[in-house]
Amino acid sequence: MKTPRITAFELQLLEKLWELGPASVREIQEALPEESRPAYTTVQTMIYRLEQKDVVRRVKKVGNAHVFGAVLTRLAVRKRIVADFLKMFGGSPASVMSHLVETGQLTLADIRAVERELARRENKK
């Protein structure tokens, strides 16, 4: 199954669902930051859209409330987001890194940490 595109708001809702585990729309909505909390109906609409994308599913019903669980893992969603992001830079991780260096968002310490991770992965092979 191909991972669908996830919007920033959908990702925020998924993060809450991953944190909470199976939850109702009300529980998800109340877990969002109070100062920028969207209306219940907005969260409900977005959860239903995630359900249509096969990203969440109804796992049970308690009274009138449906309880939803995430179908996709954080890793699967992050892989899709990173792949889409790389496409914006011509598919090149080097282009992304170059941009991050130019803007001061990637330090030598960050690069060394990545080098250590790459070396660790090579040693596992």
Confidence band for 1, pLDDT divided at 50, 70 and 90: low
Instruction: Give the count of beta carbons closer than 10 Å to the beta carbon of residue 121.
Output: 9
Answer whether residue 3 is part of any domain. Answer: no
- Which tens digit of pLDDT belongs to each residue from 33-87? 999 999 999 999 999 999 999 999 999 999 999 999 999 999 999 998 999 889 9
**Is 94 found in the same domain as 52?**
no
The tally of domains found in the chain comes to 2
Averaged pLDDT of the chain: 93
| Residue 12 and residue 62 in one domain | yes
Strand partners of residue 57? 69
The pLDDT, as a whole number, for residue 40 is: 97
Q: Supply 97's token pair.
A: 């890194």
pTM score, two decimals? 0.78
Range of the domain at 54: 8-70
Q: Pick left, alpha or beta for residue 54 (phi over 0 → left; psi -120 to 50 → alpha; otherwise beta).
A: left
Look up residue 78 and give its two tokens. 């992050």
Task: Tally the C-alpha atoms within 13 A of residue 76's C-alpha that lie toward its C-beta.
Answer: 13
Residues 103-116 have pLDDT tens digits of 999 999 999 999 99
d(CA 56, CA 68): 6
Is 121 a member of any domain?
yes
